[in-house]
Structure 1
Amino acid sequence: MAGSRSSLRGGLRRGLAGTALAPAVKLGRQADVLAAAGDAAGAEPLYAQALAADPTLAGTHNNHGNALRALGRLDEAAAAYRAAVSHGLHEGMAHYNLGSVLRQAERQDEAEAAFRQALALRPDHAEAWNNCGNLLRDLGRFGRAAVDYRRALALRPDWADAHDNLGAVLYLLHEQGGEEDAAALARLWRRDHPDNPLARHIGAAIAGEEADPRAPDDYVRQTFDLFADEFDRKLAELDYRAPALLAGLLSDDEPAGDLDVLDAGCGTGLCAKALRPYARRLVGVDLSDGMLNRARARGLYDGLYAAELVGFLAAHRLAFDLIMAADVFCYFGVLDDALTAACTALRPGGRLAFTVEMLDPADGRPHRVATHGRYAHAEAYICTAVANAGLVLRRCDHDRLRFESGEPVTGLVVLAERPAV
């Protein structure tokens, strides 16, 4: 009987303890609902109340950290993640969260330690490898960052962001004097991911291996889909002038709004404002849906099409009076097909205006792909290719297109015409 009473008393104590925890658990769950709905401001005080009632709830500390981070209270978020770990949430995700908020707070050494702890506990966490690579890139440790990106890609081979990060950091490594290391890592990238468009194209450029005659369509599409949201801002920072320079080629003509105009490789529509006064109908074509969505928001086009440029031109014979291609042909090495298709799409007397990056004549080649993935062209090659396509060269000016790594990029600003007869 005594044993029964002891069991009864023990069960009663456990029941009372469970009852004492219930308010804290309930508050935490209410906060979780608000946080899941995106209401970090509403969730945060509930998490604080729950933890005041029971500070041993490790998962609630972690979730509290997420809410604090969303509110920009980074030091408090870091303290919350540390509390989660100290109360037993010793798993990869808690350390990963800590590393992420410490990186955001620019506490880099602590962030790296947290990421490494996260990866020691969970080496299959691709996001942790990628974010640790981002941290090392921020610190200028480009070779080590590339190694971490490769680890992320070993786990998630089709992850576009990680491929983009790896290509970017190899470019930085190459530009900062680590040409041999960058080339070796680029060759490994190409070996491990032979079907990835960035690995094929950027990897070849950085490794110094033979590139394709033009950038692969899937490379261009992926690159600009990823870049679409920040495209205009980034180009403004580089003092990008190609649309203005091309518009200058047309400045001698009074716009009458009577032309059928194609903005070839229109991107986000940076040329649209200059082209609209000339156009009876203004059409844009681009490979990237992300860029086209930005162009559509300008409200200046009569039609926008997601298509490969050469095929689009060939399918629109004698359709346009004016074609403008701002920094589009820099994704082609060999220009024969593109220029011939442009001539086909122009009506007699129609004009093609385009820019390319200028290759130093001392290079001796007609075109060359650079480590950033764009081709530069020799002026002599442009003149020959324009003529071979059946076009007449009207102008080929030299001018600055933008800055790259603080240095001016000289381009060729070209106006060609399909003969009237």
Structure 2
Amino acid sequence: MAGSRLSLRGGLRGAALPPAVKLGRQADALASAGDTAGAEALYARALAADPTLAGTHNNHGNALRALGRLQEAATAYRAAIVQGLHEGMAHYNLGSVLRQAERHGEAHGAFRQALALRPDHAEAWNNCGNLLRDLGRFGEAAMAYRRALALRPEWADAHDNLGAVLYLLHEEGGTEEAETLARLWRRDHPDNPLARHIGAAIAGEDADPRAPDDYVRQTFDLFAEEFDRKLAELDYRAPALLAGMLADDAAAAGLDVLDAGCGTGLCAASLRPHARRLVGVDLSEGMLERARARALYDELHAAELVGFLSARPGAFDLVMAADVFCYFGILDEALAAACAALRPGGRLAFTVEELDPADGRPHRIATHGRYAHAEAYIRAAVAEAGLELRRCDHDRLRFESGEPVMGLVVLAERPVV
């Protein structure tokens, strides 16, 4: 997060500006225009002329931080504090740059001072939470995020941070504490999609039959920018597994193809050779923006999947759904809609995370918010939807926390009547 910049306007109106203040104003203008290097040089000149300008030290620190000169930025923020900038802003900026420089102990002290001076600063609570998460102090981080959300209840980033740190706390063995905090999160923010869905998953409470649309949309809008890189780090294989299944099945060309839950378009390259028309649909506009950049789709739609399928009876020869049905617990409606959208002889290819048969349930939501499904349930649900199962392979979809995530790779067909 960029440092907060101060303005010295107001007290000097009607009077000639001292040279140092005038240089500081010129530097502020350059900073606002995006000329960070030029602004930094002018801030340095202003402070050489008058080193008592606390706000100029702060703004100089922002410019130095933007230029990657973190140690100098920390020195500038400390100078702002020495010169009397004590309302919390300089301490917050100092904590942020020290965290960036991985000087965690000093950063924590700066954030604590910032919050002592200004306890209503939501951004400082959130960044303090980020620091505590970096240090592995997940319970304390969760409390900091809760304070941020008490001040800004609709802040999507802070909700995302809280859900992520509760997952880490749960996975690291703090199960009871994570469950308690998840219940409080749900209680305090009953209308927030992340609190409703991830909170239920971590608390071990009953979740919705499928992930709420607003949860999926918010999650992937936040995740869109780093989605491809993160999945590459996890050795994500679902698109390649489905492409291999289609190749083995001698899939034809010249088909009308739907990439259901297309995301950033990771399946597009493997689907394009089969497609006369390639259509993508996803809830997240952030993901679709990146799918458009691939320039491989004929159409892209921002829509809820079941409604989209239901409105297009007999429209497709092939529907691909890579790691989409893991956001549905009960699959009946989604599979029936997919069957209806297929032409006779059309195929549905999809992946789900596999639930150990020993669990005894047809599906289960995990603490990360995705559902896993038992093979017996998949076979029954496919048949109930009016589809014929062609293949149901077991394979690794990706790694998570260093462990393989096993899945079912499924190919089904709408019968030719």
Shorter-chain TM-score tier: over 0.9
Return the index of the structure with the highest Cα Rg.
1
The amino acid of 1:87's aligned partner reads Q
The alignment status of 1:166 with 2:162, answered yes or no, reads yes
Which of 196, 200, 209 is equivalent to 1:200?
196
Q: Specify the alignment match of 2:322 in structure 1.
A: 326
Counterpart-to-counterpart distance in 2, 1:282 and 1:255? 15
Say whether 1:81 aligns with 2:77: yes
Provide Cα deviations, 1:3-62, integer angstroms capped at 9, x if missing partner: xxxxxxxxxxxx9xx87x711111111111001111110011111111111000001000
TM-superposed CA distance for 1:255, in Å, is 5.5
Instruction: Give the alignment of 1:255-294 within 5 angstroms.
Output: 256-294=252-290
Per-residue deviation, 1:252: 3.0
Aligned partners of 1:255 and 1:277 also within 8 Å = no
> C-alpha separation between the residues in 1 aligned to 2:57 and 2:269?
52
Out of 357, 361, 365, the residue aligned to residue 365 of structure 1 is 361
CA distance in 2, matches of 1:312, 1:89: 56
Measure how far apart 1:283 and its partner are.
Answer: 0.1
Map 1:199-238 onto structure 2 (within 5 A): 199-238=195-234
Residue of structure 2 in register with 1:353 after alignment: 349
Hey, what's the Cα distance between the residues in 2 that align with 1:252 and 1:156?
Answer: 52
Question: Structure 2 CA distance, aligned partners of 1:240 and 1:345?
Answer: 28
Matched length: 404
Alignment root-mean-square deviation, CA: 1.1
CA distance in 2, matches of 1:73, 1:321: 56
In 1, the alpha carbon distance for the partners of 2:143 and 2:207 equals 24
The residue type equivalent to 1:69 in the other structure is R
The question of whether the paired residues in 2 share the 8 Å contact of 1:99 and 1:113 is answered with yes
Deviation at 1:253, TM superposition (A): 4.8
- Residue 191 of structure 1 corresponds to 187
Whether 1:127 aligns to 2:133 is no
- Whole-angstrom distance in 2 between the partners of 1:256 and 1:46: 65
Residue number among 336, 339, 346 corresponding to 1:343 in the alignment: 339
Deviations 1:112-136 (Å, cap 9, x if unpaired)?
Answer: 1100100011111000000000000
Confirm or deny that 1:40 pairs with 2:39: no
Residue of structure 2 equivalent to 1:398: 394
What is the distance in 1 between the residues matched to 2:141 and 2:356?
A: 32
Q: What's the % identity of the aligned pairs?
A: 85
Query: Distance between the aligned counterparts of 1:222 and 1:51, measured in 2?
Result: 44
Distance 2:307 2:48 in 1: 66
Amino acid at match of 2:220: F
* TM-score w.r.t. length of structure 2: 0.96
Residues 58 and 87 in structure 1, CA contact (< 8 A), matched pair in contact too: yes
Distance 2:251 2:361 in 1: 39
Which residue of 1 is the match for residue 307 of structure 2?
311
Q: 1:250 aligns with which of 235, 238, 246?
A: 246
- Note the residue ranges of structure 2 that are not aligned, 5 or more in a row: 1-11
Larger CA deviation: 247-256 vs 172-181 = 247-256
Letter matched to residue 314 of structure 2:
L
State how far apart, in whole Å, the 1-side matches of 2:401 and 2:125 are: 27
What are the ranges of 5 or more consecutive residues in structure 1 without an aligned counterpart? Answer: 1-14
Please say if 1:103 is aligned against 2:99.
Answer: yes
SS at match of 1:354: strand
**Could you report, residue by residue, the CA deviation over 1:50-92 in whole angstroms, capped at 9, with x for unpaired residues?**
1111000001000000000000000100000000000011111
Q: Give 3-state SS (helix, strand or coil) of 1:402's partner.
A: strand
- 1:296 counterpart = 2:281: no
Counterpart amino acid of residue 378 in structure 1: A
Whole-angstrom distance in 1 between the partners of 2:253 and 2:364:
38
Q: Which residue of 1 aligns with 2:22?
A: 26
Cα deviation digits, residues 145-189 of structure 1 (max 9, x gap): 000000000000000000000000000000000000000000000
Give 3-state SS (helix, strand or coil) of 1:270's partner.
coil
Taking the aligned partners of 1:141 and 1:374, their CA distance within structure 2 comes to 25
One-letter amino acid of the counterpart of residue 236, structure 2: Y
Q: Give the C-alpha shift of residue 318 in structure 1.
A: 0.2
Of the three residues 101, 111, 126, the one matched with 1:115 is 111
1:98 and 1:114 in contact (8 A); partners too: yes
